Amino acid sequence: MNLNKKYALFLGCVAPARYPGIEAATREVCKTIGVDLVELEGAGCCPAPGVIKSFDQDTWLAIAARNLALAEKQGADILTICNGCYGSLYDAAHILNGDPERLRAVNKILEEVGMEYGGKTVVRHFAELLFKDITPENVKANTKRSLEDMKVAVHYGCHFLKPSKIKDLDDPERPRILDDLVEATGAVNLNYRDKQMCCGAGGGVRSGNPELATKFTESKLKSMKEAGAQYIIDVCPFCHLQFDRTQKDVKGYDLPVIHLAQLLGLAFGVPANKLGLEIQEVPVKF
């Protein structure tokens, strides 16, 4: 399959610096399904929709606009592999692409570094692209190794589907997008209590109030475990980090975290040593 659109891969902060396996897996999976990736050269932090936007909205918007402008210059849409990056860049594009006055204000700032944003960049999430353009049927068709021996709990996170008023991807209370993609690999997808609940890391809570973040995470780990899950599937490196690192302190769950790109890598037959799953805090044992 070949999609005729070019995508600039937006790495964000967490994936390249803490879970490079997610980055490597994304590149491998995109190769398999024929998604043409280019580097988003010079990109910076998205910036984080929790911490940085909480500190200063105008800074948040200007830095996001810089990233959007970089992609525009390359004639590419942005592809994110993180809910936080998606949240920030999608929201910023939504504001700027529809509001000439705020676009003008932001361009005044970008002018200082010789840049301009024309209000054209489209921002997409890896999981959304997979669901809409590749489709679960094609995921199934590309699956070389059925993952039927894996019992998984799917975690959507917050900024992928919400706020649904501007994203309109799926029902935010009972979504199917990820469930359908995961089931296409043959994995056994388990339902569990509080499936739509947040991991606890966002909004500056992990950095500012780590005990509270841990309480969120432990509550989710508990219900996943009770449902019989062996693995957590997510689509966000920050949720990923939260679930993986919290299990360093909170013992007894032994639930390795697998990003959708890594899961598809396994299903598509990408060599396991290219997915980085055995070097996480809770490693996947092959």
Note the residues at the interface with another protein (CB under 8 A): 11, 13-14, 16-18, 20-21, 23-24, 39-45, 47-59, 62-63, 66, 95, 102, 109-110, 112-113, 115, 158-159, 162-164, 172-173, 194, 196-198, 200-205, 207-209, 212-213, 215-216, 219, 273-274, 276, 279
Least Å from the CB of residue 186 to another protein: 25
Neighbour tally for 256: CB within 10 Å:
20
SS3 271: coil
Tokens of 101: 């006055």
> Which residue lies nearer to another protein by CB, 115 or 122?
115
Least Å from the CB of residue 137 to another protein: 29
Per DSSP bridges, beta strands 6-10 and 77-80 are parallel
Least Å from the CB of residue 135 to another protein: 26
Least Å from the CB of residue 126 to another protein: 16
Q: Mind giving me the DSSP string for 115-154? A: ----S---EEEHHHHIIIIIHHHHHHHH-SS--TT-EEEE
> Which residue lies nearer to another protein by CB, 203 or 256?
203
Distance, CA of 136 to CA of 33 (rounded, Å) = 12
Least Å from the CB of residue 116 to another protein: 13
Residues sharing a CB contact under 8 Å with residue 217, sequence separation 6 or more, in sequence order: 199, 200, 201, 242, 243, 246, 250
> Which residue lies nearer to another protein by CB, 146 or 164?
164
> Which residue lies nearer to another protein by CB, 57 or 191?
57
> Which residue lies nearer to another protein by CB, 164 or 191?
164
C-alpha gyration radius of the chain: 18
